[in-house]
Amino acid sequence: DAIPIELTYDSTRGFVEERFPRFGTIVFWRVSQDLFDTFTKTIPTRLVEGDGMVVLWWNDEALDVSVGRLLAEEKPVELAEGLTVELVSYAHNVDLERFMHPDPSQRKLADAKLREGEEAKPAVELKVKVTPMDADGKPTGEPKEVQVYRFASLPFAKYDKDLPPGLGIEYYHPDLQGRVEIVESPERKLAYRVWQNKQQRIVAWGEIKEGETVNTWATGGDDSAWKMTLLRYLAEDDDVQRLNNRAQTPYKVIALPFDKDDPAFGVTRTVKIRTTWKEGEETKTREQWLRQNLPEPWDDPRVSQIDSIDLPGDKDLLLSYRPLETPLGFTVRLDDFELKKDAGAAMASNYTSHISVFTDKQDPQPDDKGKEFLITMNAPLDYPDPKGRTLRLFQENYNGPSNGMPASSTLRVNYDPGRWIKYLGSLLISVGIFMMFYMKAYFFKPKGKAVTRDETGPTPELPSAEEKPAEVLTKAGV
């Protein structure tokens, strides 16, 4: 059966991806001409094992080296004449928020705690040194050293500066899920490569044109491999022409009714920003929409929208829309999470978070010891902040693991300086209810005059035992 998949490049994210059932994802992004030329050449020549493999393309030759070897050497490894590679740092599950520092000099790879159900994000920091050589193997110029970052799960994220032309560098890791990668060159050409997790290697690669069919994930040989057919390819210029043609078509635009209770509305907050600046005597204005970037785990840092505007004087203006974050003055680390469900049902009956609180560390490691607490549905935690205010942490919700998202616990932080007033009001209500039910005889005495037996007159005579049955029979109609 054919599964249609449409990939539309997203300039705000820098890539687009779609899930493919059972096998992995299909990713599409744009690259420079140099990266396109080496995309189908930086292919591992052997199985990818251990901590992964770095593959380089240099002087018409594919060179690979395992991360395990780079870790063991602890010094530059010469892969070819004039080409050495040194591993500066390695992270099995990189903390992307710490890496995405505004100052490039402060960027570093640090491991983040791997949550349950989460896919690891391996990354390497390399120092590559290239020395120009002649045919006799003698240096012909000064060596050039470049710092390179590569992320196995983010092939479209390449952080390097002034990479020598013709040099391609890729990083592969055996824990990666299956993936079909498609790139577009500035000349509007397409190339692909297919990573298969079970085989721990790239199983297919090459250029692809509209109408062509190629193999992707194998299920027992080439004859039983999944086929991929490029049905239609619209380059950016084609998109513009298509929109122009559509504008000349007599379409009628109908507004959809707005319903604030519809979950489709209000899912993502957006703001429209107008930026005005001067270039010489000319005033320029630009308007754009910004989507709110939520912190992890609500949003993936890979898809954060950060727009830039080039200003005079070689200045860049970065625009990002984030929620207001209030520092607590302490750090909470989730150590364990317990989930209990009702018998025979999927509903949770109770969930509990085991946490550690740190007042002196912003990024505690798994081995660090803090103050341990337990937060459950009906037992919140009261903890003071540095200003002496008592913050109350409630166990509000939990997420996952599902749809590739890791399991997580959601805590709500509450500060209510008027809480004692609410407690006082509840106490007054309770006292009032007690008085109404148990002290009624003292506070709610009847106001009428007491009536004695003598004032009521004689007591009417009751029928005798012999007359009573006859009366009953008569009323029954017998």
Q: What's the CA gap between 127 and 76, in Å, rounded?
A: 8
Closest among 98, 62, 86, 357 to 205, alpha carbons compared? 62
Per-residue model confidence (pLDDT) at position 450 = 56
Q: Which amino acid is at 319?
A: L
Q: What's the CA gap between 232 and 339, in Å, rounded?
A: 47
Q: What's the CA gap between 79 and 59, in Å, rounded?
A: 12
Instruction: Give the CA distances from residue 122 to residues 30, 89, 125, 150, in Å, rounded to whole numbers and listed in that order.
Output: 22, 11, 11, 9
Q: What's the CA gap between 408 and 398, in Å, rounded?
A: 6
pTM value is: 0.52
Per-residue model confidence (pLDDT) at position 387 = 84
Q: Which amino acid is at 263?
A: P
- pLDDT 10s per residue in the chain (478 long)? 567 888 888 777 788 888 887 778 999 999 999 999 999 999 998 999 999 999 999 988 999 999 999 999 889 999 988 899 999 999 999 988 788 766 667 778 888 888 777 788 999 999 999 988 877 778 888 889 999 999 999 888 888 878 888 899 999 999 888 999 999 998 889 999 999 988 899 999 999 998 899 999 887 654 678 889 998 888 765 544 444 444 444 444 444 454 555 544 455 678 888 999 888 888 989 888 888 887 776 676 666 677 778 888 777 788 888 888 788 889 999 888 888 877 766 677 888 999 999 988 877 888 888 999 999 988 999 999 888 888 999 998 887 665 455 667 888 898 888 878 988 999 999 988 888 877 766 666 666 655 555 555 565 565 555 555 544 443 444 3
Instruction: Give the CA distances from residue 279 to residues 274, 282, 285, 288, 313, in Å, rounded to whole numbers and listed in that order.
Output: 16, 5, 11, 19, 10
- Written in H, E and C, the secondary structure of the chain is CCCCCCCCCCCCCCCEEEEECCCEEEEEEECCHHHHHHHCCCCCCCCCCCCCEEEEECCCCEEEEEHHHHHHHCCCEEEECCEEEEEEEEECCECHHHHCCCCHHHCCCCECCCCCCCCCCCEEEEEEEECCECCCCCECCCCEEEEEEEECCCCCCEEECCCCCCCEEEEECCCCCEEEEEEECCCCCEEEEEEECCCCEEEEEEEECCCCEEECCCCCCHHHCCEEECCCCCCHHHHHHHHHHHHCCCCCCCCCCCCCCCCCCCCCCEEEEEEEEEECCEEEEEEEEEEECCCCCCCCHHHCCCEEEEECCCEEEEECECCCCCCCCCEEEEEEEEEEECCCCCCEEEEEEEEEEECCCCCCCCCCCCEEEEEECCECEEEECCCCCEEEEEEEEEECCECCECCEEEEEEECCCCHHHHHHHHHHHHHHHHHHHHCHHHHCCCCCCCCCCHHHCCCCCCCCCCHHHHHHHHHCCC
449: left (phi over 0), alpha (psi -120 to 50) or beta: beta
